[in-house]
């Protein structure tokens, strides 16, 4: 019997497991056996919410220091620094904005002590079809597949056991909380963290908890170029370019709310190629090397639900990170571990709590 069961092997679940092991908790991670793409693999890895000044303070608190958090994490996972050099791009983030929004963005940056400057796209790269904007030089992006591999390796080194199963139910029993799989396997623990991304909605419904969640499909393209051709993340309302340190450039992304399918589409590819050409005409000379899709755990509010499920002792949830799961994962995981272990939280956890009104009176736990 472990101290904690983490249901979901995405970035929030894995980082929560790491935080818990650092607090001397024994952890088992239960992940879907056949997920493709794997959890948290499909995103672009931008380490800031898109148009960050438009978000609530609750979201900003989880995301504003993402890059230094990831720098510290990579140093811990790979002290030699090789992974930091290959996975983390510190080239900054340029965001297209009209004059009024530039002032809003600069005021937001001053308030949150984020480096920012008014700057044209042309001052960073030629032939990019946008003009005025704001440049955030201390932001960047991370290559999430490589990060996930490092995390899994570190967790295994720390004694975390990985189980692969489709979780279908969570039940209270005299000895704690029991997690039940489709194949009949069961695990018992004193605490459970539910962090299964788009799979959360159906699991929560079985627990009698209703949250404003929905699937949101996105597709991306990758072009193989020479390093340095795109110097920073270049973001506009129409789409964005994300550079990797090896020269690859990601183009994103489409968005289809309510679509839970994981397969890429012909329409999505055409749309992304059109975005690529419109943003940077030079890309029309290249053919994309990869095309993939992922499903985001959408939410009607712009920050996630984090904390205990009302009336369900020992059961915690991390739900609704939507497009900001990666950027907010380190802070989300720290806050969850602090709540689960009785530590003083670094920010007010009540802001992120699952409201008591979300629980149905017909819940299994009421019977």
Q: Identify the pLDDT of residue 193.
A: 98
The CA distances from residue 114 to 67, 111, 133, 248, in Å, are 11, 8, 16, 27
CATH (domain of 268): 3.30.9.10
Specify if 12 maps to a domain: yes
DSSP 290-331: EEEEEEEEEESSSS-EEEEPTT-TTEEEEE--GGGHHHHHHH
What's the length of the chain? 367
Token pair, residue 222, equals: 């990758």
Distance CA 206, CA 16 (A): 23
Last residue of a domain, one of 248, 277, 299: 299
| Host domain of residue 16 | 2-41+147-212+301-366
- Sort 173 into a burial class: Cβ within 10 Å, 0-12 / 13-18 / 19+: exposed
Q: Identify the pLDDT of residue 317.
A: 98
Q: Identify the pLDDT of residue 364.
A: 41
Tell me: do 358 and 222 sit in the same domain.
no
Distance CA 288, CA 278 (A): 15
Q: Taking 80 as the threshold, does the pLDDT of residue 197 lie above it?
A: yes
3-class SS at 146? helix
- pLDDT, one tens digit per residue, over 91-100 is 999 999 998 8
Tell me: do 191 and 163 sit in the same domain.
yes
Short-list 129, 70, 136, CA closest to 330: 70
Q: Identify the pLDDT of residue 40.
A: 79
Is the pLDDT higher at 365 or at 148?
148
DSSP state of 18: H
106-119 average pLDDT score: 98
Tell me: do 170 and 120 sit in the same domain.
no
Specify if 47 maps to a domain: no
Tell me: do 218 and 284 sit in the same domain.
yes
Distance CA 315, CA 358 (A): 15
Last residue of a domain, one of 277, 299, 321: 299
Token pair, residue 212, equals: 């404003």
Q: Identify the pLDDT of residue 361.
A: 54
Q: What global pTM score does this model have?
A: 0.95
- pLDDT, one tens digit per residue, over 16-73 is 999 999 999 999 999 998 776 777 788 899 999 999 999 999 999 999 999 999 999 9
269-273 average pLDDT score: 97
Q: Identify the pLDDT of residue 80.
A: 86
Is the pLDDT higher at 365 or at 189?
189
Radius of gyration, alpha carbons of the chain:
21
Write down the residue that tokens 């299964």 correspond to: 196
Q: How confident is the model at residue 359 (pLDDT cuts 50, 70, 90)?
A: confident
Least-confidence region, from 109-118, 135-144, 173-182: 173-182
Q: Identify the pLDDT of residue 155.
A: 98
Tell me: do 121 and 157 sit in the same domain.
no
Residues in a beta bridge with 359: 209
Name the domain count of the chain: 2
167-191 average pLDDT score: 94
Token pair, residue 46, equals: 């931008």
């Amino acid at each position: 019997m472990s101290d904690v069961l983490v249901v979901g092997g995405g970035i929030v679940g894995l980082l929560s497991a790491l935080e818990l092991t650092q607090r001397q908790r024994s952890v088992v991670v239960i992940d879907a056996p056949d997920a493709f793409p794997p959890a948290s693999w499909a995103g672009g890895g931008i380490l800031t919410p898109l148009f960050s000044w438009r978000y609530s303070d609750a979201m900003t608190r989880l995301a504003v220091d993402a890059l230094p958090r990831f720098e510290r994490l990579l140093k811990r996972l790979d002290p030699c620094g090789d992974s930091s050099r290959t996975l983390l791009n510190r080239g900054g983030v340029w965001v297209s904005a009209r004059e009024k929004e530039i002032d809003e963005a600069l005021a937001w940056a001053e308030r949150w002590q984020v480096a920012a400057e008014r700057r044209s796209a042309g001052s960073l790269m030629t032939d990019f079809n946008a003009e005025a904007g704001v440049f955030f030089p201390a932001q960047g992006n991370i290559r999430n597949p490589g990060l996930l591999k490092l995390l899994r390796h570190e967790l295994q080194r720390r004694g975390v056991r990985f189980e692969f199963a489709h979780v279908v139910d969570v039940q209270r029993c005299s000895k704690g909380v029991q997690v039940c799989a489709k194949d009949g396997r069961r695990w018992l623990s004193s605490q459970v963290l539910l962090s299964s991304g788009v799979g959360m909605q159906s699991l929560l419904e079985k627990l009698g908890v209703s949250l404003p969640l929905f699937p949101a499909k996105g597709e991306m393209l990758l072009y193989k170029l020479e390093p340095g051709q795109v110097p920073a993340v270049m973001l506009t309302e129409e789409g964005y370019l994300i550079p990797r340190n090896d020269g690859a450039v990601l183009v994103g992304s489409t968005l289809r709310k309510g679509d839970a399918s994981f397969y890429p589409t012909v329409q999505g590819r055409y749309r992304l190629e059109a975005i690529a050409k419109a943003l940077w005409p030079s890309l029309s000379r290249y053919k994309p090397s990869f095309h993939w899709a992922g499903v985001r755990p959408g939410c009607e509010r712009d920050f996630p639900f984090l904390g205990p499920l009302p009336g369900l002792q020992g059961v915690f949830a991390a739900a609704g990170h939507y497009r900001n799961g990666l950027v907010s994962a380190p802070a989300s995981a720290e806050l969850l571990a602090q709540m689960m272990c009785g530590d003083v939280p670094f920010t007010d956890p009540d802001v992120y709590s699952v409201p008591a009104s979300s629980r149905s009176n017909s819940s299994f736990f009421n019977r």
